[in-house]
Structure 1
């Protein structure tokens, strides 16, 4: 064979070049995919969980808290309930989490991020209804809480939202405590002293406990609502009463106990973290602010209850144009007759109550 023929025979074919090029392109594409996966895994692990990246989008503007202020944010979550409390010492609590809708969850998670909260000190679910428990599984997954105050419920599958919450709670590592009379939270120091104490329900198993009715066979929606955690928060001579979804029946229990025993009905002496003995004694007739029960239902906020408490301001969480007629005209009339200024999320959006260390306060919409 001639030399020139041999040289021609040994040259690589055009098809071989194309094959090598395709292999290089495939390798580069695979490397890019692997790099993207590594970046996403790193973001998920060290920056922000991928399933919640949408929380980063959507601007929420909240004014910064000033030194010594206690702030309560009543979030506009539609026909549901959610409040975030910023205590004077910087500790935080979320009370309920709205419902299971995407819009409600977005509102809650984005608002928490706007406040700069990394982890809650306390989480409180007033009762098992889905319009209160709905978003708390996401709150626990994304932010967590050191302590969770929860209702006593023997049926974890009572509804999907509560079931999701209990599962998230068990995975979160939070310390769970049953909410009941005399459970309390205190500030760590006497400076800017505040306290939060539960007035109802009674502990499960005690005579008259709404927990027992809520967990009995044939329990009604009213039974479950009356098992809501009712708690009193006091700071700088100002007091706030949160009432969950209780009806006039639970209000009557509070009134009866207070009428019979006065401040001793819910009073207790506790050991403060700094070593002193302190008397906690909520006085219903000295109430300043009321978180109106059950979105302003006609079955709540009775005339007798409002006559006793006579709040300066009342806060209603309800959805615009909701099918329940909340807040009812009757409840609004009773609140006005009691002298309360009424603030509603369905009319003006999220509400911010700020109490200064001198007892002064402001209410604004954010």
Structure 2
């Protein structure tokens, strides 16, 4: 039988040891990197908790008030009080739409922006808000980098002026390094920029990639995916979106390269926690659960076809805001589309939209399967 007798001195020492171990454990947990891919429907919004109480928000979802409210609520639940950086990858509405409300709700240190000018009212309001709040505004370029918490951010694109890029390809692309791990954030870049990134970074391998452009088939070339060889691929995408994102062949490409694919439409909020060597992924719901739920509600082919037609944008009745969702269509071109249909009695076939000034074959081919005339 053991007889434990502790002197006051030994008791005090034991308490100090326990306190030290507890504090060390809490500090280690606090220093872990956490990346939250917030479920905002068809858009991007990513919270990076870089350790030491430092936070980065990458993009701000779409312009619907409900989306901004969802992001703000999510950030507050993570006890975020200050955003040290907002990284605005490019000025499409599904990436900057909620930023005005977010800036109203949190202290913001610096906004990092691609510098690509857009004619939309959403972009104008975003710039006005930054100016009103006197927030530091910078346009990083390839080679720029900074440290935050225990992480390093390095920008890989764009290389110089963005005048030669369209909105998607003007996206800020950056690498987040934490310990031995690398995480790549790609905005909405397409294959043209992917090729350039491969030439500049031929040996780059990453643990995680934020899949470019919501899994569109205009991005994620096979050479790009094979070279990066990601273990995780996260697609920020909304359920039943009329763009058809993500493309089935893109999802399969990542899977064939050994990546585990996560999607907001199937998994809800996706949180990756990393310690510099290992990572863990937590989701709101598993893919299998969501698949079973979907299959149990499968409708006849006729009903599915009707649903698909309802998801198309009717160019004879669509508002400016609806038309602005199409790739390469801003408010000015949307107004031209409306003027054309009013002056010509409407469109009789979708190809007729190419008669509108500013719409060429390239733009039409991007979304011809997403529009209708009835």
User: Is TM more than 0.5 here?
Assistant: yes
Matched, 1:362 2:280: yes
- Report what 1:97 is aligned to: 60
Where in structure 1 do 4 or more consecutive aligned residues deviate above 2 Å?
64-67
Structure with greater Cα Rg: 1
- Report what 1:202 is aligned to: 159
Kept in 2, the 8 Å contact 1:83–1:94? The answer is yes
Kept in 2, the 8 Å contact 1:76–1:350? The answer is yes
The alpha-carbon deviation at position 179 of structure 1 amounts to: 2.4
The one-character-per-residue Cα deviations of 1:338-359 (angstroms, maximum 9, x if unpaired) are: 11100000012110000025x2
Distance 2:160 2:53 in 1: 30
Distance 2:199 2:124 in 1: 34
Distance 2:116 2:171 in 1: 11
TM-score, with normalisation over the residues of structure 1? Answer: 0.68
- Report what 2:169 is aligned to: 226
Local SS of the residue matching 1:232: strand
Local SS of the residue matching 2:244: coil
The alpha-carbon deviation at position 257 of structure 1 amounts to: 2.0
1:170-181 residue pairs with structure 2 within 5 A? 170-181=131-142
The alpha-carbon deviation at position 161 of structure 1 amounts to: 1.7
The answer for unaligned runs of 5 or more in structure 1 is 1-63, 205-210, 215-222, 260-282
**Aligned pairs, number:** 258
Task: After superposing the two structures, state which structure 1 stretch, 331-340 or 125-134, moved more.
Answer: 331-340
Which of 186, 197, 206 lines up with 1:254 in the alignment?
197
Which of 161, 164, 177 lines up with 1:213 in the alignment?
164
Distance 2:148 2:241 in 1: 38
- Report what 1:292 is aligned to: 211
Distance 1:89 1:339 in 2: 33
Distance 2:69 2:28 in 1: 22
Distance 2:117 2:73 in 1: 32
Distance 2:105 2:145 in 1: 26
Distance 2:121 2:258 in 1: 39
The alpha-carbon deviation at position 67 of structure 1 amounts to: 2.2
- Report what 1:114 is aligned to: 77
Distance 1:234 1:124 in 2: 16
Kept in 2, the 8 Å contact 1:130–1:160? The answer is no
Distance 2:268 2:44 in 1: 12
Structure having greater relative contact order (Cα 8 Å, sep ≥ 6): 1
TM-score, with normalisation over the residues of structure 2? Answer: 0.67
CA RMSD of aligned residues (A): 1.6
